[in-house]
Chains A and B, each alone.
Chain A
Amino acid sequence: MNYPTIFSITEDEIDLNDLLAKITLTSTGAAAIFTGMVRGETVRGEAHQTDYLEYEAYIPMAEAKMKQVADEIRMKWSVIEGIAIVQRIGKLYPKTPTVLIACTAAHRDTGVFEAARYGIDRLKEIVPIWKKEVSLDGQFWVEGDYTPKPGE
Protein backbone atom coordinates (compact mmCIF):
# COMPACT_ATOMS: atom_id res chain seq x y z
CA MET A 1 0.00 0.00 0.00
CA ASN A 2 1.33 3.43 -0.86
CA TYR A 3 0.45 5.66 2.07
CA PRO A 4 1.48 9.33 2.09
CA THR A 5 4.43 10.33 4.28
CA ILE A 6 5.42 13.98 4.52
CA PHE A 7 8.52 15.17 6.36
CA SER A 8 10.10 18.58 6.13
CA ILE A 9 12.05 21.38 7.75
CA THR A 10 10.67 24.73 6.67
CA GLU A 11 10.98 28.45 7.34
CA ASP A 12 7.38 28.96 6.26
CA GLU A 13 4.21 28.98 8.31
CA ILE A 14 2.89 25.46 9.02
CA ASP A 15 -0.33 24.98 7.05
CA LEU A 16 -2.36 22.46 9.04
CA ASN A 17 -5.26 22.25 6.60
CA ASP A 18 -2.99 21.63 3.64
CA LEU A 19 -1.02 18.92 5.48
CA LEU A 20 -4.16 17.26 6.76
CA ALA A 21 -5.65 17.14 3.26
CA LYS A 22 -2.47 15.49 1.98
CA ILE A 23 -2.62 12.64 4.52
CA THR A 24 -6.37 12.06 4.31
CA LEU A 25 -7.38 9.12 2.09
CA THR A 26 -10.88 7.97 1.12
CA SER A 27 -10.46 5.25 3.78
CA THR A 28 -9.45 7.74 6.50
CA GLY A 29 -11.83 8.43 9.39
CA ALA A 30 -9.53 9.78 12.09
CA ALA A 31 -6.54 12.04 12.49
CA ALA A 32 -4.47 12.71 15.60
CA ILE A 33 -2.58 15.96 15.38
CA PHE A 34 0.03 17.25 17.77
CA THR A 35 1.34 20.74 17.37
CA GLY A 36 3.74 22.60 19.64
CA MET A 37 4.01 26.38 19.81
CA VAL A 38 6.33 28.93 21.37
CA ARG A 39 5.31 29.40 25.00
CA GLY A 40 5.72 33.04 26.03
CA GLU A 41 5.11 32.46 29.71
CA THR A 42 6.39 29.42 31.56
CA VAL A 43 5.11 28.64 35.06
CA ARG A 44 6.18 25.00 35.46
CA GLY A 45 9.66 24.55 36.92
CA GLU A 46 11.68 27.73 36.76
CA ALA A 47 9.08 30.40 35.89
CA HIS A 48 10.18 32.73 33.11
CA GLN A 49 9.12 34.75 30.07
CA THR A 50 10.29 34.07 26.52
CA ASP A 51 10.61 36.77 23.86
CA TYR A 52 11.30 34.37 21.02
CA LEU A 53 12.96 31.09 20.08
CA GLU A 54 15.51 30.74 17.33
CA TYR A 55 15.61 27.30 15.72
CA GLU A 56 18.28 25.74 13.56
CA ALA A 57 18.58 22.29 12.01
CA TYR A 58 21.02 20.03 10.22
CA ILE A 59 18.47 19.99 7.42
CA PRO A 60 19.35 16.96 5.25
CA MET A 61 19.97 14.77 8.28
CA ALA A 62 16.88 16.09 10.09
CA GLU A 63 14.67 15.22 7.15
CA ALA A 64 16.23 11.74 6.92
CA LYS A 65 15.63 11.18 10.66
CA MET A 66 12.01 12.39 10.32
CA LYS A 67 11.56 9.74 7.63
CA GLN A 68 13.06 7.21 10.06
CA VAL A 69 10.57 8.28 12.76
CA ALA A 70 7.72 7.80 10.26
CA ASP A 71 9.09 4.33 9.39
CA GLU A 72 9.22 3.44 13.10
CA ILE A 73 5.59 4.57 13.51
CA ARG A 74 4.53 2.32 10.63
CA MET A 75 6.44 -0.63 12.15
CA LYS A 76 4.62 -0.19 15.46
CA TRP A 77 1.16 0.75 14.16
CA SER A 78 0.67 -0.85 10.77
CA VAL A 79 -2.87 0.60 10.48
CA ILE A 80 -1.58 4.17 10.25
CA GLU A 81 -2.44 5.63 6.85
CA GLY A 82 -0.81 9.05 6.42
CA ILE A 83 1.96 10.67 8.43
CA ALA A 84 3.11 14.30 8.40
CA ILE A 85 6.11 15.52 10.39
CA VAL A 86 7.04 19.19 9.95
CA GLN A 87 9.37 21.44 11.92
CA ARG A 88 9.51 25.16 11.35
CA ILE A 89 12.89 26.85 11.93
CA GLY A 90 14.11 30.44 12.21
CA LYS A 91 13.03 33.11 14.67
CA LEU A 92 9.61 32.25 16.12
CA TYR A 93 7.54 34.29 18.56
CA PRO A 94 5.08 33.24 21.30
CA LYS A 95 1.87 31.55 20.12
CA THR A 96 3.47 30.52 16.81
CA PRO A 97 3.22 26.81 15.94
CA THR A 98 6.72 25.37 15.59
CA VAL A 99 6.17 21.69 14.96
CA LEU A 100 3.41 19.42 13.71
CA ILE A 101 3.01 15.65 13.83
CA ALA A 102 -0.16 14.23 12.34
CA CYS A 103 -1.17 10.61 11.81
CA THR A 104 -4.31 9.36 10.10
CA ALA A 105 -6.14 6.01 10.30
CA ALA A 106 -9.51 4.51 9.47
CA HIS A 107 -10.77 4.80 13.09
CA ARG A 108 -9.78 6.56 16.30
CA ASP A 109 -9.28 3.36 18.33
CA THR A 110 -6.44 2.08 16.15
CA GLY A 111 -3.49 3.55 18.06
CA VAL A 112 -3.55 6.77 16.08
CA PHE A 113 -3.25 8.94 19.23
CA GLU A 114 -0.30 6.89 20.49
CA ALA A 115 1.35 7.04 17.07
CA ALA A 116 1.31 10.85 17.04
CA ARG A 117 2.60 10.93 20.63
CA TYR A 118 5.43 8.56 19.67
CA GLY A 119 6.26 10.79 16.71
CA ILE A 120 6.79 13.95 18.76
CA ASP A 121 8.69 12.06 21.47
CA ARG A 122 11.07 10.51 18.92
CA LEU A 123 11.54 13.82 17.10
CA LYS A 124 12.75 15.31 20.37
CA GLU A 125 15.22 12.43 20.79
CA ILE A 126 16.88 11.87 17.42
CA VAL A 127 16.05 14.62 14.90
CA PRO A 128 18.91 17.16 14.77
CA ILE A 129 17.14 20.44 15.54
CA TRP A 130 18.03 22.94 18.28
CA LYS A 131 16.46 26.04 19.74
CA LYS A 132 17.92 29.06 21.44
CA GLU A 133 15.68 30.80 23.93
CA VAL A 134 15.88 34.58 23.99
CA SER A 135 14.44 36.80 26.74
CA LEU A 136 15.21 40.01 28.60
CA ASP A 137 17.42 37.95 30.91
CA GLY A 138 19.64 36.88 28.04
CA GLN A 139 19.81 33.90 25.75
CA PHE A 140 20.65 30.24 26.11
CA TRP A 141 20.59 27.11 23.99
CA VAL A 142 18.05 24.55 25.08
CA GLU A 143 19.69 21.12 25.19
CA GLY A 144 17.92 17.78 25.20
CA ASP A 145 18.90 14.92 27.48
CA TYR A 146 18.84 11.97 25.07
CA THR A 147 21.92 10.24 23.66
CA PRO A 148 21.10 8.25 20.52
CA LYS A 149 22.24 4.64 20.50
CA PRO A 150 24.03 2.86 17.62
CA GLY A 151 21.54 2.26 14.81
CA GLU A 152 19.34 5.22 15.76
Chain B
Amino acid sequence: MNHVKLLFFATLRERAGTKVMELDIPDDLTIQGLKERLASDNPNLKESLKSVLITINREYAFDEAVVPLNAEIGMFPPVSGG
Protein backbone atom coordinates (compact mmCIF):
# COMPACT_ATOMS: atom_id res chain seq x y z
CA MET B 1 0.00 0.00 0.00
CA ASN B 2 0.97 3.60 -0.63
CA HIS B 3 0.44 6.14 2.15
CA VAL B 4 -0.36 9.56 0.68
CA LYS B 5 -1.24 12.98 2.02
CA LEU B 6 -4.00 15.00 0.37
CA LEU B 7 -4.16 18.78 0.74
CA PHE B 8 -7.42 20.54 -0.10
CA PHE B 9 -7.78 24.23 -0.89
CA ALA B 10 -10.60 26.74 -1.45
CA THR B 11 -13.90 25.11 -2.51
CA LEU B 12 -12.38 21.63 -2.25
CA ARG B 13 -11.32 22.30 1.36
CA GLU B 14 -14.79 23.53 2.29
CA ARG B 15 -16.51 20.57 0.65
CA ALA B 16 -14.12 18.02 2.11
CA GLY B 17 -14.54 19.66 5.53
CA THR B 18 -10.79 19.34 6.12
CA LYS B 19 -7.46 20.77 4.93
CA VAL B 20 -5.53 17.53 5.12
CA MET B 21 -6.41 13.86 4.66
CA GLU B 22 -4.09 10.86 4.89
CA LEU B 23 -4.97 7.83 2.86
CA ASP B 24 -3.68 4.33 2.05
CA ILE B 25 -4.07 3.51 -1.63
CA PRO B 26 -2.95 0.64 -3.90
CA ASP B 27 0.55 1.08 -5.37
CA ASP B 28 -0.63 1.33 -8.98
CA LEU B 29 -3.52 3.74 -8.44
CA THR B 30 -3.71 6.61 -10.96
CA ILE B 31 -4.96 10.14 -10.35
CA GLN B 32 -8.15 9.16 -12.17
CA GLY B 33 -8.55 6.18 -9.83
CA LEU B 34 -7.91 8.37 -6.80
CA LYS B 35 -10.57 10.84 -7.92
CA GLU B 36 -13.08 8.01 -8.36
CA ARG B 37 -12.32 6.68 -4.90
CA LEU B 38 -12.69 10.14 -3.31
CA ALA B 39 -15.98 10.74 -5.10
CA SER B 40 -17.44 7.49 -3.80
CA ASP B 41 -16.05 7.92 -0.25
CA ASN B 42 -17.10 11.55 -0.06
CA PRO B 43 -20.18 12.42 -2.18
CA ASN B 44 -19.78 16.11 -1.21
CA LEU B 45 -16.66 16.24 -3.37
CA LYS B 46 -18.17 14.64 -6.44
CA GLU B 47 -19.21 17.86 -8.19
CA SER B 48 -15.95 19.71 -7.41
CA LEU B 49 -13.83 16.82 -8.65
CA LYS B 50 -15.06 17.36 -12.21
CA SER B 51 -13.04 20.57 -12.67
CA VAL B 52 -10.38 19.98 -10.00
CA LEU B 53 -6.69 20.68 -10.57
CA ILE B 54 -4.36 18.07 -9.10
CA THR B 55 -0.73 18.36 -8.09
CA ILE B 56 1.76 15.66 -7.16
CA ASN B 57 4.64 16.86 -5.01
CA ARG B 58 3.83 20.48 -5.97
CA GLU B 59 3.76 19.99 -9.75
CA TYR B 60 0.59 19.83 -11.86
CA ALA B 61 -0.42 16.24 -12.60
CA PHE B 62 -2.98 14.60 -14.87
CA ASP B 63 -5.45 11.70 -14.82
CA GLU B 64 -3.20 8.98 -16.25
CA ALA B 65 -0.30 9.61 -13.79
CA VAL B 66 0.35 6.87 -11.24
CA VAL B 67 0.53 8.30 -7.72
CA PRO B 68 4.14 7.96 -6.48
CA LEU B 69 4.99 6.54 -3.05
CA ASN B 70 4.27 8.86 -0.11
CA ALA B 71 3.17 11.63 -2.44
CA GLU B 72 1.85 15.00 -1.35
CA ILE B 73 -1.23 15.55 -3.48
CA GLY B 74 -2.88 18.96 -3.82
CA MET B 75 -6.53 19.31 -4.94
CA PHE B 76 -8.05 22.67 -5.79
CA PRO B 77 -10.15 24.67 -8.25
CA PRO B 78 -8.60 26.76 -11.07
CA VAL B 79 -6.49 29.44 -9.39
CA SER B 80 -7.62 33.03 -8.84
CA GLY B 81 -4.70 34.94 -7.34
CA GLY B 82 -3.80 38.53 -8.00
Contact = CB atoms under 8 A, between A and B. Distances in A.
Interface stretch (A41-49, A107-115, A136-144): A136-144
Contacts of B77: 130, 141, 143-144
A23 to B, nearest CB: 20
Interface centre among B53, B60, B76, B77 (most CB of A within 10 A): B60
Contacts of A124: 79-82
B81 to A, nearest CB: 3
Interface residues of B, number: 17
A125 B82 contact: no
Nearest to A63: B58
Contacts of B11: 141, 143
B39 interface: no
Contact of A148 (B7, B58, B60, B81): B60
Interface residues of A, number: 34
A127 B81 contact: yes
Given A55-B81, A58-B74, A147-B78, A130 B55 contact: no
Interface string B22-54: 000000000000000000000000000000010
A130 to B, nearest CB: 4
Interface centre among B58, B79, B81 (most CB of A within 10 A): B81
Contacts of A131: 80-81
Given A128-B55, A143-B80, A147-B78, 4 more contacts: A36-B82, A127-B79, A129-B79, A152-B60
Interface of B: 7, 9-11, 53, 55, 58, 60, 62, 74, 76-82
